[in-house]
A and B are shown apart, each in its own frame.
Chain A
Amino acid sequence: MSLLDIAGLSASLGRKTVLDRVSLAIGAGECVGLIGPNGAGKSTLLRAVLGLVPHDGTISLTGQAPASLAPDEMARRIAYLPQEREIAWPVSVERIVGLGRMPHGTGAREPDDADRRIILEAMRAMDVAGLAGRRATELSGGETARVLIARALAQRAPLLLADEPTAGLDPAHQIACMRVFSDLAKDGASVLVCLHDLGLAARWCTRLVLMAEGRIIADGPPAHVLTPDRLAEVYGIRAFIGAAEGGMVLQPLDVLVGRDAV
């Protein structure tokens, strides 16, 4: 049984169909990159799984419908990192990361030793332990992004949905973030991560799902999904595709215009 099973998922925002009968199954141990041009429906797909947008079709989490789960139980199963990175109040970084423990009972009580250990581990993983006492509203964009990733990690859910977590991060922290996700998958969790950086997607994901105009165009290992034809068709770009250190290397080169475009 898959950890996440989506069948015939459709969603509309206003009159526009954003998701068109999407079906997707994700098993334990997979780090799946969700890629596609702007407006392809990637974020809406993540939000639909969480029940944040009205939709048709069925979603099941290890065989159970999300609607049948209590909100807390749902939050223990799925951690979600939204694209929105606005922190409303000058709360300490440690408290922000600690919000990830809320589905596990903090909020009604103070974090216990186990919670604190998990919070510290999450902060270390994203290299923000040194910022623990800082006000979260006084950080740089990249630091804020890392704090919020740490918050999602602290939730320790078997399924992580992350919406463009690497945007705004420097190369070292982009790699650190993808390595953490990849390690989570190796430890048996599942990760579904929206990415615009095809190089990161090609290198760190075990499987890529390519979306365009609300549909899944391709689904498989990076080398099967990221072919020159598909890059031209879906993104309208040409790219250098090679291999290094046992993985795929992809660098977009230029936009295809006029008769070059397929």
Chain B
Amino acid sequence: MSGTAGYRMLLAGLALATAVLFALSLTVGPAGISLSDSLDALVFGNGGAAGHDADTRAAMVLVMREIRLPRALLGLGIGASLGLSGAVLQGLLRNPLAEPGLLGVSASASLGAVLAIYTGLSALFPLALPLAALAGAVAAVIVVQAMAQGGGTLTIILAGVAVTSFAAAMTSLALNLSPNPFAALEIVFWMLGSLDDRSMTHVWLAGPFILAGCAMLARCGRALDALTLGHDAARSLGIDLARVRLFAILGTASAVGAATAVAGAIGFVGLVVPHLMRPLVGAVPSRLLPASALGGAAMVLAADIAVRVIAPGRDLKLGVLTAIVGAPFFLWLVYRSRREPA
């Protein structure tokens, strides 16, 4: 069918942009390692042939493999998770305002993390934070999925709203009763969302959940195409709606829950990226999935490079930047679609 060639070109372009941004992400940082040296250190474990002594080379390898590589990998995985789940949820709910946070997964994962900080567990052993966040995401998904059984799309949205509100209230309570200002500050900073100081441990922790979640989300494409015509028509075309809902909810919980667990809440990517990609794929929901995954990865990688370039040493938070850029951009998209109807 027409447009297939254009679609392949688009995916190739997005994949290339993502690869370039991934490489760029590896080379940006306070350590000031040259491009060739950094890739040499990363791949071969020696930091450039000439001009460096053994200690420098060892340090370079350490920086590349233990600091920059996990950061870039997490940016890639988290961005893909947010973009993909945003596209799936918009298709499932037939609503362009849907985004990964809608299911209450992000808020509940945040609550889990906040509780880990609040109780001091995260100070005792560092992995307590992401693990508690994952537990929070699981709790949210159990509630939402239980509500979704026998209910419809609206039930999922309303359950998500309720879970989000409750998690936000509990987070506020934790801040309210925070034992000392440092804990409160840590909570607030964590909630802003960042990829700073993440290690390969975080990659190993979040990676399997992100991969499993994305694999589930990626299988929804055909059903989402049919859902363009509404629930009854989709079912009459042979789509098992309960199964699609399960895949979308579990996939989002797994991928976005893990993403939030290691990076905090990174807003607007899951909402904006599908909107940005939709006109480029002829609005076909199944084609939107790979495009949004790549687009999300590119956007988070770019934003994470930007926070390091714009304000080196000032610790500008990734989630702050995506929201600052994302919100006005979304407004512009809304404005544009208002002028030329959908």
Partners in one complex: yes
Taking Cβ atoms with an 8 Å cutoff, the residues of A that contact B are: 47, 50-52, 70-76, 78-82, 84, 86-92, 94-96, 98-100, 102-103, 107-108, 110-111, 116, 133, 135, 137-138, 148, 151, 155
Q: Does B228 lie within 8 Å of A96, measured CB to CB? A: yes
Q: Does B282 lie within 8 Å of A82, measured CB to CB? A: no
Q: What is the size category of the interface that chain B forms with chain A?
A: 20 to 34
For residues 216 through 250 of chain B, which have their beta carbon under 8 Å from a beta carbon of chain A? 221-222, 225-230, 232-233, 235-240
Q: Does B1 lie within 8 Å of A78, measured CB to CB? A: no
Q: Kindly list chain B residues whose C-beta atoms are within 8 Å of the C-beta of A116.
A: 1
Q: Kindly list chain A residues whose C-beta atoms are within 8 Å of the C-beta of B51.
A: none
C-alpha spacing A53/B291, complex, angstroms: 36
C-alpha spacing A147/B286, complex, angstroms: 20
C-alpha spacing A98/B228, complex, angstroms: 12
Name the one of B2, B226, B240, B282 contacting A99, with C-beta atoms under 8 angstroms.
Answer: B226
Name the one of A89, A100, A138 contacting B341, with C-beta atoms under 8 angstroms.
Answer: A138
CB distance from A21 to the nearest CB of B (A): 24
Contact status of A102 and B227, CB under 8 A, knowing A91-B284, A95-B282: no
Q: Does A98 lie within 8 Å of B229, measured CB to CB? A: no
Q: Kindly list chain A residues whose C-beta atoms are within 8 Å of the C-beta of B283.
A: 89-91, 135
Question: Is B257 in contact with chain A by the CB < 8 A criterion?
Answer: no
C-alpha spacing A133/B282, complex, angstroms: 10
How many CB-defined contacts (below 8 Å) exist between A and B? 97
Q: Kindly list chain B residues whose C-beta atoms are within 8 Å of the C-beta of A75.
A: 236-238
C-alpha spacing A137/B283, complex, angstroms: 11
What residue of chain B has the Cβ atom nearest to residue A47's Cβ? B232
Binary contact track B1-29/A, C-beta < 8 Å → 1, others 0: 11110000000000000000000000000
- What are 23 inter-chain pairs, A to B, with CB distance below 8 A? A52-B235, A71-B235, A71-B238, A74-B238, A79-B236, A80-B232, A82-B236, A84-B230, A84-B233, A86-B230, A88-B91, A88-B227, A88-B230, A89-B278, A90-B283, A90-B342, A91-B284, A95-B1, A95-B284, A99-B237, A102-B226, A138-B341, A138-B342
C-alpha spacing A103/B240, complex, angstroms: 12
Beyond known contacts A87-B229, A88-B228, A99-B229: 14 more, CB 8 A cutoff: A47-B232, A50-B236, A75-B238, A78-B236, A80-B233, A82-B233, A84-B230, A84-B232, A88-B94, A91-B282, A94-B1, A96-B229, A107-B221, A151-B229
CB distance from A202 to the nearest CB of B (A): 28
Q: Does A107 lie within 8 Å of B232, measured CB to CB? A: no
Name the one of A73, A82, A92, A100 contacting B232, with C-beta atoms under 8 angstroms.
Answer: A82
Q: Kindly list chain B residues whose C-beta atoms are within 8 Å of the C-beta of A151.
A: 229
Binary contact track B259-283/A, C-beta < 8 Å → 1, others 0: 0000000000000000000100011
C-alpha spacing A84/B1, complex, angstroms: 27
Q: Does B233 lie within 8 Å of A98, measured CB to CB? A: no
C-alpha spacing A70/B238, complex, angstroms: 8
Q: Does B1 lie within 8 Å of A102, measured CB to CB? A: no
What residue of chain A has the Cβ atom nearest to residue B341's Cβ? A138
Q: Kindly list chain B residues whose C-beta atoms are within 8 Å of the C-beta of A84.
A: 230, 232-233
Q: Does A99 lie within 8 Å of B225, measured CB to CB? A: yes
Question: Is B285 in contact with chain A by the CB < 8 A criterion?
Answer: yes
Q: Kindly list chain A residues whose C-beta atoms are within 8 Å of the C-beta of B228.
A: 87-89, 91, 96, 99
Q: Kindly list chain B residues whose C-beta atoms are within 8 Å of the C-beta of A90.
A: 283, 342
Q: Does A102 lie within 8 Å of B229, measured CB to CB? A: no
C-alpha spacing A33/B238, complex, angstroms: 25
What residue of chain B has the Cβ atom nearest to residue A102's Cβ? B237
C-alpha spacing A133/B1, complex, angstroms: 11
C-alpha spacing A84/B234, complex, angstroms: 12
Q: Kindly list chain A residues whose C-beta atoms are within 8 Å of the C-beta of B1.
A: 94-95, 98, 110-111, 116
Q: Does A102 lie within 8 Å of B238, measured CB to CB? A: yes
C-alpha spacing A91/B1, complex, angstroms: 13
Q: Does B236 lie within 8 Å of A107, measured CB to CB? A: no
Q: Does A82 lie within 8 Å of B230, measured CB to CB? A: yes
Q: Does B282 lie within 8 Å of A103, measured CB to CB? A: no
Q: Kindly list chain A residues whose C-beta atoms are within 8 Å of the C-beta of B229.
A: 82, 87-88, 96, 99, 148, 151
Q: Kindly list chain A residues whose C-beta atoms are within 8 Å of the C-beta of B282.
A: 91-92, 95
What residue of chain B has the Cβ atom nearest to residue A132's Cβ? B2
Q: Kindly list chain A residues whose C-beta atoms are within 8 Å of the C-beta of B225.
A: 99, 102, 107
Q: Kindly list chain B residues whose C-beta atoms are within 8 Å of the C-beta of A80.
A: 232-233, 236
Name the one of B4, B239, B285 contacting A89, with C-beta atoms under 8 angstroms.
Answer: B285
Q: Kindly list chain B residues whose C-beta atoms are within 8 Å of the C-beta of A81.
A: 233
Q: Does A102 lie within 8 Å of B222, measured CB to CB? A: yes
C-alpha spacing A80/B226, complex, angstroms: 13
Q: Kindly list chain A residues whose C-beta atoms are within 8 Å of the C-beta of B236.
A: 50, 52, 75, 78-80, 82
What residue of chain B has the Cβ atom nearest to residue A136's Cβ? B228
For residues 41 through 74 of chain B, which have their beta carbon under 8 Å from a beta carbon of chain A? none
C-alpha spacing A79/B282, complex, angstroms: 26
Q: Kindly list chain A residues whose C-beta atoms are within 8 Å of the C-beta of B342.
A: 90, 135, 137-138
C-alpha spacing A47/B3, complex, angstroms: 35
Which of A74, A79, A90, A135 gathers the greatest number of chain B CB atoms within 10 Å? Answer: A90
Which of A71, A76, A80 gathers the greatest number of chain B CB atoms within 10 Å? Answer: A71
Q: Kindly list chain B residues whose C-beta atoms are within 8 Å of the C-beta of A133.
A: 2
Contact status of A71 and B239, CB under 8 A, knowing A96-B228, A110-B4: yes
Name the one of B94, B227, B237, B278 contacting A103, with C-beta atoms under 8 angstroms.
Answer: B237
Which of B227, B238, B285 gathers the greatest number of chain A CB atoms within 10 Å? Answer: B238
